[in-house]
Chains A and B, each alone.
Chain A
Amino acid sequence: MKLTCLSAAAGGGGGYHSPASHLLELEGVRFLLDCPIDLSALAAFAPVPLAGDAGGLIRAVPRYWLPAAVKEGGVDAVLVSSATGMLGLPFLTGLPGFTNTKVYVTEVAARIGKPMMEELVEMHREFVRYYGPDTDASPKWMEGEELNELMSMSQKAVIEGRENDLTSLVPLYSPGNVEECMHKVQSVKYGEEVCFNGIFMLKASSSGLELGNSTWTIQSPRASITYLPSSVFVSAHALDFDYSSLKENDVILFSDFSSLNDTDEDNEKLNEHSMDETDSSLCRYSVFRDDGADADERVPFVCNNDDITEEIERISFICSCIFGAVKSGGSVLIPIGRLGVILLLLELISEMLHSSSLKVPIFVISETAEEIFAFTNTLPEWLCKSRQEKLFAGEALFGHVELLKEGKLFLFPHLHSKGLLAAWKEPCIVLCPHWSLRLGPAVHLLRRWHADKRCLLVVEQGNGAELSLKPFMPLAIQVLECSFLSGVRAGKIDPLLGVLKPKFVMV
């Protein structure tokens, strides 16, 4: 058995947008574990249309880092743990080494992942329309001074051997690549056992982080391995982390580093556990297998729901800031890419607006919004217990159904969509992509509001706010940076491992 780390969790949101990617070789079969897209290069490009000073950013069609898995040659199967974990796949699936590759992903993650890819392609097209198509030949900026600048800005520069590797910067995939990728997908349900290659049994269980996110169990004749990406014990929307199905597996590949981005206090705790993210080489350490007497006591500790109460409190705080902004007559722009947070935010904001009888329209401007919102109301078996109860009580699963019906929430695919102007009224609250502030409607709206100090921009921490806001200077808009729960808290890792009782943990 051999594990190679292809990329560590990158970008903001504790690896939510770009989870780690690994290559696992087992009994001669190569498994790729997650293949996210690395958007870190995007920050170095100026958003279009250009307005005034680009702030030293590159003015060209952006390029993207090719997933490191390309260099590893072919793989036999890809196990995907989340919708974001498959966004890099269209880069690969057309390559010769991937002709017979099967991609295993949960039904819901696939259903959410595909529109995410399509939306990315669509938003990228705006650049192409502005600059003309990107040819395969290396564009001018790649030779000049600007490249170094890009490297210094992009955090990727620290990874060895990558600096001068221009071949890794490629144009985005096409809609055809997306289709091709989706053809290889074998969608599964939680708890479904699939046989791969005759000797492996693969099983996805819920990880609790997001709708359709999963952990994977790989059972080979000689060992059982758990691939444990970021997990949340009790969720406010997705089905809770099903850790009991991972019990007694021999090896755990623990790739949840979200807690590293948390507070210092957590970090200190983590260091005691001698985990080190920067050292991406294999770090094995054996966990003492205790006899289970006190393992049962740990269960209530790991699955108590402080985390989610905290999360709701955090989102409530954001709501109160939003409320303050709209009350003063400013609009609010929320370019957050997390489906779960968006769904919760919508419910809480509308509650708050309702209780104050303030009438402010909420817009979601995204090509995928209609599809995804309709979809979220039809997947009761993937949701947390309290939302499943809504099904049994005959209520809509999420608050947005009611909001749409009452005309408090509007969904539009584009800013220039028919009917948007008629419905548009400022102040308003807008949720739209993209969190990088380089793509999508967020760019245009931020241009519109950046000089108004009554307005509010809500962004996620860790996305490099300074760099991403650079082209919008000077800034008067208020900026609220917030972080969300995106994995197991450091303090809970130890008890969790105690319950799972693996022989080895790989970090």
Chain B
Amino acid sequence: MAIECLVLGAGQEVGKSCVVVTIGGKRVMFDCGMHMGYHDDRHYPDFARALAAWGAPDFTTAISCVVITHFHMDHIGALPYFTEVCGYHGPIYMTYPTKALAPFMLEDYRKVTMGQRGEEKQYSYEDILRCMKKVTPMDLKQTVQVDKDLVIRAYYAGHVIGAAMIYAKVGDAAMVYTGDYNMTPDRHLGAAQIDRLKLDVLITESTYAKSIRDSKPAREREFLKAVHKCVSGGGKVLIPTFALGRAQELCMLLDDYWERMGLKVPIYFSAGLTIQANVYYKMLIGWTSQKIKDSHTVHNPFDFKHVCHFERSFINNPGPCVLFATPGMITGGFSLEAFKKWAPSEKNLVTLPGYCVSGTIGHKLMCGKPTRVDYEDTHIDVRCQIHQLAFSPHTDSKGIMDLTEFLSPKNVILVHGEKPQMAFLKERIESELGMPCYYPGNNESVSIPTTQNLKMSATERFITGCAVEQGKRSLHKRNLIYGTGLSEEIGSDEAAGEGVLLMQKHKSPKILCEDELLEVLGMGRHLVQFEPMVSRIVAAVESELQRAKAADLDNDGK
């Protein structure tokens, strides 16, 4: 039996993660994301084409279940489209935090992009709610029996709150799909954690397939120093960020620093959204790092002590402050408004956490320091300082190699990365770890053969027979005769038992003693006798035996 992996999205690219794996006759869809760089057909995975290839009447019959790893748009963005427009009605699984926070992300993105593309492919707010109602939440390490044969289990992935790596198993075939993960703990999340599993295939992200990142504390210190310098000089700090994830991490960092340094400068959150998100984070504290979990009884770290109530008019107030404003990348909204106000003063600081898509003001600021930014019809003089924060919640190349080595799967498939880097990593995995590795493009599939274990029972007499044999420590290699007429020599360090494998139709295979076989077959014993022609052979065998015994004794001596 083979495992068939069809990559519908994130094949040799980053965006619209979607992999459909056929394992033991079950079809599981991992992630259902959208591509944020495209506004045409390439926006969603090509579901229709896949359906035609499977030859199924609809998605519900074609797919056993959908599993979402985390709430980022490139992993969940197409889900409402898939359930409400394509009409998939089967089970959907995601972790509790993902289920709680996904509607925010989906709705936020829907609002931002409204009117940017054709109406027919867009889903409504009601669609999001209907879609989320169908989701079954799951806990980490909880073994979920999807149906009689299919079992899935989530492991901690660290990337964002609620991110999970998914283990799926049907019969003896097993696999892991990582989603995005982080092998080093960050301020509020722990590192990815998984058991040592026996896997046929590992599908892993490879965003940073080639790079190795330096230590985080150094970058954190740098950030804090820059912010502190700015506010102590009476300047204002603008941190344009999205509502979830980075905002909480940086705020924890600042809140902690403020506490230690006894700073009194106010920290603001611009959007109600982020404040609402903090409410969720407080309840989901069990999904953060162990350190936070242990300390939260005294003080919930998402109860920020130094975050003050904010009103829009405050951006005109004099005096230093720190402001978290949405959206990130300064694409519009309040972060742009604050930027316009604050950029002309050299006392102020703009901190850009994470990646900025080209075309945004954030991107312009990151590519060297402009003195003037034109946005639509207004010109903004930029005299403020710019600080870049190279934080990323993805694992680096070392992390990917470590995880792959730890899990030692029979095959590796890379997704969610850029083609040249993936080619580089494939080489490394194949040469250093000796595992076949693939990185299929979109709409390509990889077929992987699996081993099948056959369960067989042995009779009591056979087992006692073996035990006696082993007691004698015979080194003779024995033949195991198969009932089907095949014979194979079994060589192992320990003595192999002698028996007959009986395979009958409609019965489970069984190992018997020779005598028992006769009983089962109801036949008498026939003996064929040989006359030794050369006595030297016997002598040779005997000396061989003695040598073996001596070796044994040697071993025992040691």
Contact = CB atoms under 8 A, between A and B. Distances in A.
Interface string B122-153: 00000000001000010111111100000000
A378 B283 contact: yes
Interface in B528-543: none
Nearest to A374: B297
Contact of B282 (A190, A371, A378, A381): A378
Contacts of A379: 286
A377 interface: yes
Contact of A374 (B99, B100, B140, B300): B300
B470 interface: no
B279 A394 contact: yes
A119 B29 CA distance: 49
Nearest to A205: B142
B268 interface: no
A191 B139 contact: yes
30 contacts: A189-B140, A190-B139, A190-B142, A192-B141, A193-B143, A371-B297, A374-B296, A374-B297, A375-B297, A377-B282, A377-B283, A378-B282, A378-B283, A378-B284, A378-B285, A378-B296, A378-B300, A379-B286, A380-B96, A381-B137, A381-B286, A388-B96, A391-B96, A391-B100, A391-B280, A391-B283, A394-B100, A394-B276, A394-B280, A396-B279
Interface in B91-112: 96, 99-100, 103
A190 B138 CA distance: 10
A375 B103 CA distance: 25
A185 B143 CA distance: 21
Nearest to A194: B141
A397 interface: yes
A129 B100 CA distance: 49
Interface in A345-374: 370-371, 374
Interface residues of A, number: 23
A125 to B, nearest CB: 21
Nearest to B135: A392
Contact of B297 (A190, A193, A370, A380): A370
Contacts of A193: 143
A477 to B, nearest CB: 34
Nearest to A397: B283
Task: Report, as a range, how many residues of chain B touch the other chain.
Answer: 20 to 34
The 7 A-B residue pairs with the shortest CB-CB distance in the complex, in nearest-first order: A191-B142, A192-B141, A371-B297, A378-B285, A381-B139, A381-B96, A191-B143
A203 interface: yes
Q: Is the interface of A mostly helix, strand, loop or mixed?
A: mixed
Contacts of A394: 100, 276, 279-280
Interface string A122-146: 0000000000000000000000000
B132 A189 contact: no
Nearest to A377: B283
A394 B283 CA distance: 9
Contacts of A375: 297
A189 B283 contact: no
Given A379-B286, A380-B283, A380-B284, 16 more contacts: A191-B142, A191-B143, A203-B143, A370-B297, A374-B297, A375-B297, A377-B282, A378-B285, A380-B96, A381-B96, A381-B137, A381-B139, A388-B137, A391-B280, A396-B283, A397-B283
A394 B144 CA distance: 25
A391 B97 CA distance: 9
Most chain B CB neighbours (cut-off 10 Å) among A190, A377, A380: A380
A40 B286 CA distance: 36
Interface in B327-363: none
Contacts of A377: 282-283
A392 B143 contact: no
Contacts of B140: 189
Interface of B: 96, 99-100, 103, 132, 137, 139-145, 276, 279-280, 282-286, 296-297, 300
Contacts of B280: 391, 394
Contacts of A245: 145
A392 B297 contact: no
Nearest to A371: B297
Interface of A: 188-193, 203, 245, 370-371, 374-375, 377-381, 388, 391-392, 394, 396-397
A158 B148 CA distance: 49
Contacts of B283: 377-378, 380, 391, 396-397
A115 to B, nearest CB: 9
A114 to B, nearest CB: 11
A159 B140 CA distance: 44
Contacts of B285: 378
Most chain B CB neighbours (cut-off 10 Å) among A375, A378, A388: A378
Contacts of A192: 141-143
A381 B145 CA distance: 17
B145 to A, nearest CB: 8
A370 B299 CA distance: 10
A192 B143 CA distance: 6
Nearest to A392: B100
Nearest to B299: A374
Contacts of B143: 191-193, 203
B51 to A, nearest CB: 30
A500 to B, nearest CB: 16
Nearest to A193: B143
Contacts of B100: 380, 391-392, 394
A392 B132 contact: yes
A392 B286 contact: no
B170 to A, nearest CB: 16
B290 to A, nearest CB: 12
A375 B99 CA distance: 21
Nearest to A244: B145
Contacts of B132: 392
Contacts of B279: 394, 396
A481 to B, nearest CB: 33
A484 B370 CA distance: 70
A370 B139 CA distance: 26
Contacts of B142: 189-192
A382 to B, nearest CB: 8
Contacts of A381: 96, 137, 139, 286
Nearest to B297: A371
A206 to B, nearest CB: 11
Nearest to B140: A189
A262 B157 CA distance: 47
B296 A189 contact: no
Contacts of B141: 188-189, 191-192
B549 to A, nearest CB: 33
B149 to A, nearest CB: 15
Nearest to B96: A381
Nearest to B300: A374
A392 B276 CA distance: 12
A191 B144 contact: yes
A350 to B, nearest CB: 20
Nearest to B102: A392
Contacts of B99: 392
Contact of A378 (B103, B139, B276, B286): B286
Contacts of A397: 283
Contact of B139 (A189, A203, A374): A189
A482 to B, nearest CB: 30
A392 B285 CA distance: 15
Nearest to B142: A191
Nearest to B144: A191
A371 B139 CA distance: 23
Nearest to A245: B145
Contacts of B144: 191
Contacts of A388: 96, 137
Most chain A CB neighbours (cut-off 10 Å) among B96, B137, B276, B297: B297
A191 B137 CA distance: 13
Nearest to A191: B142
Nearest to B279: A394
A438 to B, nearest CB: 27
A380 B100 CA distance: 10
A375 B285 CA distance: 9
B80 to A, nearest CB: 15
